[in-house]
């Protein structure tokens, strides 16, 4: 049978459909989930809020028979790593035919590649049926992470450390810290704001800790990068970050990648509770391949036509 699957960018006439589908979708971008979506990976509001023209956000819809799936990704201007923000609806079981979801994932990769992205990332719970679909779509696990939420009043925060607001002048040191503590494979996934938005901790005139900060209407999302040498100072640093970002106003979430799992015990002692465990999955979109130039056929034939054979000379020059 002929495949009638169709994928295109959404239009205004699709808004009612998209709103209905989004109620059973899944957020695959933790920063958006915990700052814009009330900390729920399955809430439908985020995609509808971003449907109208929004810088760097792109939404596609795939139709295959009676099945319709919406996918959304975001790509920062001049960025090389796009991030899948949302897929709706999400598959309900592993036995479900995922043909349409594979099409929308492939279409997002193609569209992101057209816009200059080299990678497409997604953060997904490994217990979800969507995890198997994303693996089938040629995504690989590059890292694992946990999301922790601070529960106000659950524990007494220690005396906070002194943190400073990061500036553009701090970026070289922040990048150096990042390259020293983040495995080389994971460094392909950008997780440092280009403008250095975050808090720094200095020790002996060196930046030994950096906490990237993302804030939204539903919460504050912290991404710590702490050198293991400051293990003893980690509780005070996290406490200071929670205090600086307004713990009494919005929920505070902390993302911990597996290579910094020593922070788990620190967060437990500070009264944090684990909210999610996720796999960070990556699909490589493009590679730098130089196009080969082919000469017209008649020119090629002329170039390879042998010249008339000349008899060998005796090596004696006539006088």
Q: Which tens digit of pLDDT belongs to each residue from 54-108?
A: 568 889 999 988 889 999 998 887 788 999 998 999 998 887 888 999 999 999 9
Q: What's the pLDDT score for residue 210? A: 96
Does pTM surpass 0.85? no
pLDDT tops 60 at residue 315 = no
Q: Does 6-138 carry CATH code 3.40.50.261?
A: no
Q: What pLDDT, on the 0 to 100 scale, is given for residue 311?
A: 45
pLDDT category of residue 157 using cuts at 50, 70 and 90: confident
Q: How far apart are CA 33 and CA 30, in angstroms?
A: 5
Lowest mean pLDDT among 29-38, 111-120, 192-201, 240-249: 192-201
Listed by start position, the domains of the chain span 6-138, 148-275
How many residues appear in the chain?
A: 319
Measured distance CA(150)–CA(175) in Å, rounded:
27
Between 31-45, 244-258, 266-280, the lowest mean confidence (pLDDT) is in 31-45
CATH superfamily placement of domain 148-275? Gcn5-related N-acetyltransferase (GNAT) (3.40.630.30)
Strands 81-88 and 119-124: parallel
Burial 270-294, CB ≥16 within 10 A → b, else e: bbbeebbebbbbbbebeeeeeeeee
Q: Which residues, listed in sequence order, are joined to residue 82 by a DSSP beta bridge? A: 120
* 303 vs 10: which has the higher pLDDT: 10
Q: What is the pLDDT at residue 155?
A: 66
Would you say residue 310 has pLDDT above 70?
no
Task: Give pLDDT, residue 229.
Answer: 94
2: Cα separation from own chain's centroid: 34
| 264 C-beta neighbours (distance < 10 Å), count | 15
Q: Do domains 6-138 and 148-275 have the same CATH topology?
A: yes
CB 86 within 8 A of CB 27: yes
Query: What CA–CA distances, in Å, run from 182 to 11, 69, 226, 231, 259?
Result: 41, 35, 10, 16, 7
For 59, phi then psi, to 5°, come to -125, 130
pLDDT score for 297: 46
Q: What is the pLDDT of residue 134?
A: 95
pLDDT at 260 exceeding the cut of 80 = yes
Average pLDDT of span 289-299: 43
């Amino acid at each position: 049978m002929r495949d009638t699957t169709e994928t295109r960018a959404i239009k205004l006439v699709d808004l009612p459909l998209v709103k209905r589908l989004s109620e059973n979708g899944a957020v695959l971008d933790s920063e958006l989930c915990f700052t814009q979506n009330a900390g729920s990976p399955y809430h439908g509001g985020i995609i509808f809020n971003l449907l109208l023209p929004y810088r760097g956000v792109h939404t596609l819809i795939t139709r295959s028979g009676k099945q319709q799936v919406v996918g959304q990704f975001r790509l920062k201007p001049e960025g090389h790593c796009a991030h899948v923000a949302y897929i709706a609806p999400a598959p309900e079981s592993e036995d479900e035919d995922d043909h349409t979801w594979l099409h929308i994932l492939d279409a997002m990769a193609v569209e992101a590649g057209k816009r200059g992205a080299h990678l497409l990332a997604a953060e997904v719970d490994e217990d979800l049926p969507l995890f198997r679909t994303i693996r089938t779509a040629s995504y690989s696990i590059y890292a694992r992470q946990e999301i922790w939420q601070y529960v106000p009043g659950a524990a007494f925060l220690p005396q906070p450390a002194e943190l400073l607001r990061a500036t553009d002048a701090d970026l070289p040191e922040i990048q150096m810290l990042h390259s020293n503590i983040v495995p080389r494979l994971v460094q392909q996934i950008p997780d440092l704001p280009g403008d250095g938005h975050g808090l720094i901790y200095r020790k002996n005139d060196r930046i030994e800790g950096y906490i990237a900060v993302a804030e939204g209407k539903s919460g504050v999302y912290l991404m710590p990068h702490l050198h293991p040498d400051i293990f003893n100072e980690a509780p005070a640093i996290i406490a200071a970050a929670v205090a600086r970002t307004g713990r009494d106003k919005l929920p505070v979430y902390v993302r911990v990648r597996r290579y910094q799992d020593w922070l788990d015990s620190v967060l437990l002692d500070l009264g944090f509770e684990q909210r999610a465990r996720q796999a960070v999955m990556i699909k490589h979109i493009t590679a730098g391949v130089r196009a080969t130039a082919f000469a017209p056929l008649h020119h090629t034939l002329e170039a390879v036509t042998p010249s008339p054979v000349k008899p060998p000379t005796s090596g004696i020059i006539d006088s």
